C-alpha cells in the first residue's frame, strides 16, 4: 500500500509540474513579402483645376502618378513584444511611366486580439533609393489588416492601406489593398506548433 501511495503521489507531482509546450506570444524573426494595388485620390482633382494652366501642364502634369499604382515589397524584422514588432525592408511601386520607385521602408507593427487569427496596424515610412524621372521622394503610410495562421511558421494577411507619396513638384494619396504572407522562426506561435 505504501508503494501504491508513493507511486500515486509521484504521478500527482509530475502532472502538477509538467508543462505542455506553451504557445509563444511572439513570432521571433520574420520575413513578410507582399503585393499591393492602389488608387490615386488626387490626380483627377488636380488636372481639372489646372487644365488651362500652361506651366502646370508642361512642368507638373508629366510628373504626376497614374490613377492606379501597383507594387511589391518584402520586410524582415523581429516580433519584440506580444503586441509590437519592428521591421525594415524594400518596396517597389510602379507609379507612372518612368516612375519606378524603389523605397527603403521602416515598419512598426502593432497587433491586437488574442487568437491565432488577429488584427494588426502598421505604420510605414519609406524613402526612395533609386533614380527615376522623380527623385528624393518619400512616403508615410498606414495599414490595417487581418492576420490568419496557416501552419507552424506561416501566416497570411490582407490589409487596406492609405499612404501619402511626396514629390518635388506634387504629391499623391493612394488607397488600396495589400496581400501578404509572413514566415517566422518561432514554431510555437500558432496553434499548429503544438504537435
Predicted confidence (pLDDT) per residue in 24-48, tens digit: 688 899 999 999 999 988 654 455 5
Please write the tens of the pLDDT for every residue from 118-173. 899 999 999 999 988 778 889 999 999 999 888 888 999 999 999 988 876 567 88
- The pTM for the full model equals 0.75
Instruction: Tell me, yes or no, whether 181 lies in a domain.
Output: yes
Calculate what percentage of the chain has a pLDDT beyond 90: 42
Instruction: Tell me, yes or no, whether 7 lies in a domain.
Output: no
Please state, in angstroms and rounded to a whole number, the distance separating the CA atoms of residues 176 and 162. 7
The four Cα atoms 143, 144, 149, 151 give a dihedral, to 10 degrees, of 0
Please state, in angstroms and rounded to a whole number, the distance separating the CA atoms of residues 32 and 89. 9
Residue 131: what pLDDT?
86
Domain range enclosing 151:
29-193
Residue 189: what pLDDT?
81
CATH of the domain at 63: 2.40.160.20
Name residue, grid cell 507609379: 95
What spatial distance separates the first Cα and last Cα of the chain, rounded to whole Å? 37
Amino acid at each position: 500500500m505504501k508503494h501504491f501511495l508513493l507511486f500515486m503521489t509521484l504521478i500527482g507531482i509530475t502532472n502538477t509540474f509538467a508543462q505542455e509546450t506553451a504557445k509563444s506570444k511572439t513570432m521571433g524573426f520574420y520575413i513578410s513579402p507582399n503585393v499591393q494595388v492602389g488608387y490615386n485620390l488626387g490626380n483627377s482633382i488636380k488636372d481639372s483645376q489646372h487644365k488651362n494652366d500652361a506651366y502646370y501642364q508642361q512642368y507638373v502634369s508629366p510628373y504626376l502618378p497614374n490613377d492606379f499604382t501597383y507594387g511589391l515589397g518584402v520586410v524582415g524584422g523581429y516580433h519584440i513584444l506580444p503586441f509590437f514588432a519592428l521591421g525594415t525592408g524594400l518596396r517597389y511601386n510602379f507609379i507612372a511611366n518612368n516612375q519606378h520607385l524603389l523605397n527603403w521602408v521602416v515598419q512598426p507593427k502593432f497587433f491586437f486580439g488574442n487568437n491565432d487569427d488577429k488584427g494588426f496596424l502598421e505604420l510605414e515610412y519609406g524613402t526612395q533609393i533609386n533614380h527615376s524621372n522623380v527623385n528624393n521622394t518619400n512616403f508615410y503610410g498606414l495599414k490595417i489588416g487581418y492576420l490568419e495562421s496557416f501552419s507552424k511558421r506561416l501566416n497570411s494577411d490582407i490589409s487596406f492601406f492609405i499612404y501619402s507619396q511626396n514629390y518635388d513638384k506634387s504629391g499623391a494619396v493612394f488607397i488600396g489593398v495589400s496581400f501578404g504572407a509572413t514566415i517566422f522562426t518561432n514554431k510555437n506561435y500558432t496553434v499548429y506548433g503544438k504537435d
